[in-house]
């Protein structure tokens, strides 16, 4: 009985720690879906194949597109928390992407070996450039579900994949946030349990922030590029 009680308390402590707020406090639900039906409105697929596969949404890049698979929601957001789960099924990369009113804003880019939290290039033709706040090592096995969380409040974004967490700040983030979406580079990625909630700043954010890497402090080298001679793709 003593062992059982001790185990219960330990599990309860871990659960409470996992539920602790980070940058934001959650508010009303903006959008919620288990992603357990064939993709349809309000989703808008720009590239790739998006289908229901074994009860979840699957995205796959199509070679003919010469571009990663992309699907987005039409939502215009202010401060928010977005969460979902994904698993690799042959793809080399996936991301959660947020647009600005014009062009890209921010993303969490994920490969089986790395997680990147970044502000995106917002004009592609200069002078704006992407800013990588963190690129951290990961071991994300195919066929295994992983959880993603993106929080954006004011000029700050916080990204989390499983227990890997990083943040960064930019004035662009204070503008309207548009069209949250998924991208897939390569064969397939499965998605489920998406939720988007309104958010407010966690009053304990400064304390939380003190225990996280500073932006730019943890940036591992980018993965080696392939030897192909094709043009570099823009971020989806």
Q: pLDDT tens-digit profile of 52-78?
A: 999 999 999 999 999 999 999 999 999
Domain ranges of the chain: 23-204
CA 112/CA 140 separation, integer angstroms: 5
Q: Do 155 and 201 meet the contact criterion of CB atoms below 8 Å apart?
A: no
Lowest mean pLDDT among 24-33, 138-147, 159-168, 214-223: 214-223
* Range 115-121, long-range pairs (CB < 8 A, 24+ positions): 115/159, 115/161, 115/164, 115/166, 117/157, 117/158, 117/159, 117/166, 117/167, 117/168, 118/168, 119/157, 119/168, 119/170, 119/172, 119/173, 120/235, 121/235
CA 168/CA 174 separation, integer angstroms: 13
CA nearest to 120, candidates 52, 177, 56, 197? 177
Class of the domain covering 23-204? mainly beta
What integer best gives the mean pLDDT of the chain? 89
CA nearest to 29, candidates 194, 149, 160, 174? 194
**Other residues' Cβ atoms within 10 Å of the Cβ of residue 1:** 5
Residues 6+ apart with CB under 8 A from 15: none
Q: pLDDT tens-digit profile of 79-114?
A: 999 999 999 999 999 999 999 998 999 999 999 999
CA 105/CA 97 separation, integer angstroms: 8
What confidence score (pLDDT) does residue 133 get?
98
Reported confidence tier of residue 236, pLDDT bands at 50, 70, 90? low
Handedness of CA 102, 122, 98, 185 (dihedral sign): positive
Helical H segments across 63-187, by residue range: none
CA 131/CA 215 separation, integer angstroms: 10
% of the chain surpassing 70 pLDDT: 86
What confidence score (pLDDT) does residue 24 get?
98
Reported confidence tier of residue 162, pLDDT bands at 50, 70, 90? very high
Q: pLDDT tens-digit profile of 163-175?
A: 999 999 999 999 9
Reported confidence tier of residue 224, pLDDT bands at 50, 70, 90? low
Reported confidence tier of residue 19, pLDDT bands at 50, 70, 90? low
What confidence score (pLDDT) does residue 9 get?
34
CA nearest to 105, candidates 88, 89, 93, 123? 123
What confidence score (pLDDT) does residue 225 get?
60
Lowest mean pLDDT among 11-20, 39-48, 200-209: 11-20
Q: pLDDT tens-digit profile of 37-58?
A: 999 999 999 999 999 999 999 9
């Amino acid at each position: 009985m003593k062992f059982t009680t001790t185990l219960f308390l330990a599990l309860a402590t871990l659960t409470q720690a996992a539920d602790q707020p980070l940058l934001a406090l959650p508010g009303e639900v903006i959008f919620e879906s288990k992603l357990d039906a064939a993709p349809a409105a309000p989703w808008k697929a720009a590239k790739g194949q998006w289908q229901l596969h074994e009860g979840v949404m699957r995205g796959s890049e199509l070679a003919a597109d010469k571009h990663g698979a992309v699907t987005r929601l039409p939502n215009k957001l202010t401060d928010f928390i977005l969460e979902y789960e994904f698993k690799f099924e042959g793809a080399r990369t996936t991301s959660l992407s947020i647009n600005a009113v014009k062009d890209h804003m921010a993303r969490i880019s994920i490969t089986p070996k790395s997680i990147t939290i970044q502000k995106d290039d917002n004009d592609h033709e200069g002078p704006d450039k992407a800013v990588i706040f963190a690129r951290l090592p990961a071991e994300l096995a195919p066929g295994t579900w992983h959880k993603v969380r993106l929080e954006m409040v004011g000029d700050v974004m916080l990204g989390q994949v499983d227990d890997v967490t990083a943040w960064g700040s930019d004035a662009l983030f204070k503008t309207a946030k548009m069209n949250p979406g998924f991208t897939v580079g390569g064969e397939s990625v499965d998605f489920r349990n998406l939720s988007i909630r309104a958010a407010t700043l966690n009053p304990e954010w400064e304390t939380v922030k003190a225990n996280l890497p500073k932006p730019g402090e943890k940036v591992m080298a980018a993965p080696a590029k392939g030897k192909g001679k094709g043009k570099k793709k823009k971020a989806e």
